[in-house]
Amino acid sequence: MDPRVASLAAITRLNGRLFHHCLDGLSDEAAQERPGPQVNNIAFVAAHLVDSRHYMLALLGDARPNPLPAPEGGFNDIAKVTRYPTLAEVRAAWDAAGQALEARFGAATASQLAAPQGEGWPIEEHTLYGVLTFMVQHESHHVGQLGLLRKVAGLAAMAYA
């Protein structure tokens, strides 16, 4: 594994565990409840994270489709969601994407990581490595949101172990 992506792979493995801890003890119904009219629910954030992992896979050359039933454009706008996948479906899709992502990180070459990626990203390094770094940070941000939404739902804090 290219040493530059080793830390990204480690963070995605940690996020993989934390994601499951955030969903522990939640029913599908509770996950779909919005804590406020301008706040995303757990089901949406979790499905958005699965979308994001599939985006990273596509960047790394694995264009497998996201198996979750998503609105047009994916889980990027809660107003467009008419049906949520079950948490079991979300967990299975998350795990499959995580295994594939680990393999893709392991196979990424230095030249692939150095490939230019265009400007529209809020990052300094506009390479595949830079975009992947941003996407892993984005994933961590949303896992944190899941932890907070879990507390708002009346459950214990997310566990690290």
Q: What is the CATH number of the domain that holds 62?
A: 1.20.120.450
Domain that holds residue 52: 3-152
Is 18 within the bounds of a domain? yes
pLDDT value at residue 13? 97
pLDDT value at residue 18? 98
**Whether the Cβ atoms of residue 130 and residue 19 lie closer than 8 Å to each other:** no
pLDDT value at residue 121? 86
Tokens of 23: 């969903």
By CB atoms closer than 10 A (0-12, 13-18, 19+), residue 144 is middle
Query: How many structural domains compose the chain?
Result: 1
pLDDT value at residue 76? 86
Give CA–CA dist 147/45, Å, rounded. 11
Tokens of 62: 């694995």
Give CA–CA dist 145/45, Å, rounded. 8
* pTM for the predicted model, two decimal places: 0.94
The residue type found at 114 is A
Is 159 within the bounds of a domain? no
